[in-house]
Structure 1
Amino acid sequence: MFSRHISGTLARNSQPNFTHVFTKNKFLLSQCRSYTRLAAARSWSSGKFSWLCNRRLNSWFREHGVQLVCLCIKQLELIAAQHIRRSIEIFQLYEKLWDEVALKELIKSWRQRTYHKTKKYLFGTAGVSAYNWDFEQITDEKLQSFVHEIDEIYKLLDSTLMCSQCHERLVVDVIQIGVNYCNCQGNKPVTAACRADIIIGESWEPFIEREDMIIWRRLESDTGLYAYKVYGSFSDVSAADFLQVQLDVEYRKEWDNTAKELKVIETDPVTQSIEGYHNDIIYWEMIWPRLFANRDYVYQRKSVHNKDNNIVVIASKATDHPKAPSRTDTHRVNTYWSYMVIKSYKDFYKPGIEFGLTYFDDPGVSIPSAVTLWVAMSGLPDYLCRMRQATREYQHYKSNRDKAFTTAILDQSNNCGTSKGEKTKKQSQTNETDNSQKDSSKTEREPLNSPKKIHKISDIKENDEYGELDPMQEEDQGFLNYFFLTRLFA
C-alpha cells in the first residue's frame, strides 16, 4: 500500500516534463517528414522537366533538321557570292583606275602567289600551266630603245671622265698604261672624285677602271642596291664570237666555275625560225659560299642582230616558268634585269668590238657595304677577263666539239660494222671441229675496229683534245667568284 502510494506520487511529479519532451520530438518528426516530401517532389519535377525538354528537342531536330541544313548551305552560298562579287568589283575598280602596266603587274603578282600553292589549289591556276609568250614578251620596241646605248655611253664618258679644260681623261681608281690623264693641277693626275663638280646631276658615278674596261654604278633608291654599267673595248675578239659566248649555255658551263646548273628551259616558237633572233627562257643556279644558299634565276633572254649596222642587242629580265618552280635548297632571285649592246669596229666576224652592259639584281641578302665594295672591285674585273679569254678560245672549243661529234658518228658506224663481222666469225667457228684451232682463235689479238678498241682510242683522243678537267669543287671556290657581280653576262 505504501509502495503504491510512492509510485503514484513519482508519476504525478514527473508527468509534465515527459509530456513536454514527447510533444517536442513529435513536432520535429513532422517537420522532417514535410521536408523529405518537398525534396522528393522537387527532384521528381526536375527530372520530369529535363526528360520532357530532351524529348521535345529530339523531336524538333527530327522534324526540322533538313530545313536547318538547307539554311546553313544557303548562308554559306550567300557569303561566297558576296566575296566573289566583292572581288569582281575590286578588279573592275582597279581596271578603271590603273593603266595597262599596273594591271599586268597585278596579274603577275596573283600568278606568283597562286603558282606556289599546294596541289589541291591548282584548279584555280589552270590557265597558268603554260608559259604565255605574248604576255611575258620582251617587245621589239624595248630592244630598239637600246640601239643607241653606245652613243649614250660616249656622252657619259665626256660628262664624268673628261676634264672640261684640257679634255683629257680623269683617273677613276687606278692609273692605266697608255691613257693620257689630266694634269691641270700639277704633276699628279686629277681623279674623278676630286672633280665632282663636273658630274653634278649625273646619276651614274665612275667606279672601276681596268684594261679596256670602265664601270659605273648607280644607287637604286627603292632597294638601296647598286646598278652597274660596263663599257669595254676589245680589239682581239670578234663580235660573232663574243655573241656566241653570251648565248651558248653549254660553253658557259665550261669556263664559268660559278654556274652549277645552266640550261635552256623553253624557246619561243615564233622567233625560233627567224635568223638573227633568239628568245629563250633560261634557268641558272649560281654557287654561293657555304654560309649562304645558292641563288637561282629564271629569266627570259632575247637577242636581235641588226646586220645593217652590225649591232646586237641582248635584253634579259626575271620571269616565272612552270618547268622551274622555286626550290627549298636555293634562293630564287626575282628582281633581275640587264641589257647589252655589242658593236663591231668594222666587220662582224673580224676582231674588234665595243660593248655596253647595264645590269641590276637583288640577291636577297644583306651584305656589309665594305664587303660588297671589295667583292665588286676584285671579282668583276676578274670575271670580265675570264670572259674575254673564253671568247678568244671559242673557235678552238667549237672545232673540238665538231671533231668530237664527227668521231662519235664514225664510232657508231664502226660499231655497227664490227657487230656484223663478229656474227659471221662466230658462225664459222661453230663449223670448225679442230680443238687446236679453237684454242688458237681464243688467243688471237683483238681486232682494231672492235668496240673496246674504238672506245679506248676515242678516250685517248678526247684526253688529248680537252685535257683532264678537274671536277668543280664547290667548297674550294673563292669568295670573289660567287656574288652578284659575276653574273653580268648571263
Structure 2
Amino acid sequence: MSLPFTDEEFQDAWKELDEPQLEGGWELFTETMGVKIYRLYDKETGLYEYKVFGGLTTCTPELCADVYMDLTYRKHWDSYAKELYEKDFNGQTAIYWELKLQYVYMRERRDLDVDGRKIWVILARSSPETACGEKSGVLRVKDYKQSVALESDGAGGSRVFMNYFDNPGGMIPNWLVNWAAKTGVPGFLTDMQKACSNYSSYCQKK
C-alpha cells in the first residue's frame, strides 16, 4: 500500500501561507475573528471547498500541531466528536471519526524546515480501503480532504492556513453548509485556542 501523501502536497500546503492560491473561482465567503474564509463551488457535487486564512494568537504552531494530532485529548474538548479512534491498516494508521456523519481517513504530520523557517503541515484524506467498517444508520463520507499549515506569527501565536472539502453524498441543505462554514469554523478555532491553553495541565494528569 503506497503512502497517501507526496512531498509536493506538503509543499503546496505551506506555500499558501506566503501566496494564497485563490484563482479560478474562489470567493470571499466570510471574515470573522481575524480569519478569512474563501470558498470554491464544485459543479460536479454542488458543494463548496473551503480555504481558511488567519491566526491563533495564543497558541504556538508546535502546540497547535500537537493538540491537533492528539485524538485522545480531542475527545475531551471537541463536543462534536461522538467516536474517535485509530486503527492500524497495512502498516498505516486509519482514523475513524464520527460526528453526525462518519469519516475514515489517513493523515500525516511533517515538521518542516524551509530555509530556516519552521512550518508544521498536517494532511488528511479519506481512504476507501481501511479496517474501519461502516456503521449502519450513520452516513459515511467517502470524499474528504483537509490540509493544515502552521507557522509562528513572531509574537507567540500562529499563522494558520486550512483547506477543507467533504462530500457526504446525497443532498445537504444549503443552510447546513452555510452554518458549518460561518459558525463551525470560528467556533472550532475558539475551541482550539482553549484546548491549547489547557493541554499542558491535561498532559500532567495523564
TM-score (normalised: structure 1): 0.39
1:329 Cα deviation after fit: 2.7
| Cα deviation digits, residues 101-125 of structure 1 (max 9, x gap) | xxxxxxxxxxxxxxxxxxxxxxxxx
Task: Say if 1:367 and 1:339 are closer, same or farther in 2 by CA, change over 3 A.
Answer: same
Letter in 1 for 2:49: A
- Given candidates 190, 203, 207, the residue that maps to 2:29 is 207
- Given candidates 342, 358, 372, the residue that maps to 2:177 is 372
Q: Give the secondary-structure state (helix, strand or coil) at the position aligned to 1:250.
A: helix
Letter in 1 for 2:65: L
Spell out the pairing of 1:36-435 with structure 2 (5 A cutoff).
Answer: 132=1, 134=2, 136-153=3-20, 202-266=24-88, 280-286=93-99, 288=100, 295-307=101-113, 308-346=116-154, 351-401=156-206
**Structure 2 unmatched runs, 5+:** none
Task: Say if 1:235 and 1:267 are closer, same or farther in 2 by CA, change over 3 A.
Answer: farther
Aligned 8 A contact 1:280 1:302 in 2: no
The alignment's C-alpha RMSD in Å is 2.2
1:267 Cα deviation after fit: 7.4
Write the distance in 1 (CA, Å) between the matches of 2:181 and 2:167.
14
Aligned residues: 204
1:228 Cα deviation after fit: 0.8
Aligned 8 A contact 1:214 1:230 in 2: yes
Letter in 2 for 1:205: E
Aligned 8 A contact 1:212 1:234 in 2: no
Write the distance in 2 (CA, Å) between the matches of 1:281 and 1:322.
6
Write the distance in 2 (CA, Å) between the matches of 1:344 and 1:280.
28
Write the distance in 1 (CA, Å) between the matches of 2:97 and 2:185.
19
Aligned-residue identity in percent: 32
1:147 Cα deviation after fit: 2.7
1:356 Cα deviation after fit: 0.1
1:257 Cα deviation after fit: 1.1
Write the distance in 1 (CA, Å) between the matches of 2:105 and 2:122.
12
Larger Rg computed on CA atoms: 1
Task: Say if 1:298 and 1:374 are closer, same or farther in 2 by CA, change over 3 A.
Answer: closer
Write the distance in 2 (CA, Å) between the matches of 1:322 and 1:215.
32
1:232 Cα deviation after fit: 1.7
Q: Which has the higher strand share?
A: 2
Task: Say if 1:261 and 1:220 are closer, same or farther in 2 by CA, change over 3 A.
Answer: same
Letter in 2 for 1:310: K
RCO higher in 1 or 2 (8 Å CA, sep ≥ 6)? Answer: 2
Runs of at least 4 residues of structure 1 off by over 6 A? none
Write the distance in 2 (CA, Å) between the matches of 1:268 and 1:301.
14
Aligned 8 A contact 1:313 1:339 in 2: yes
Write the distance in 2 (CA, Å) between the matches of 1:314 and 1:322.
20
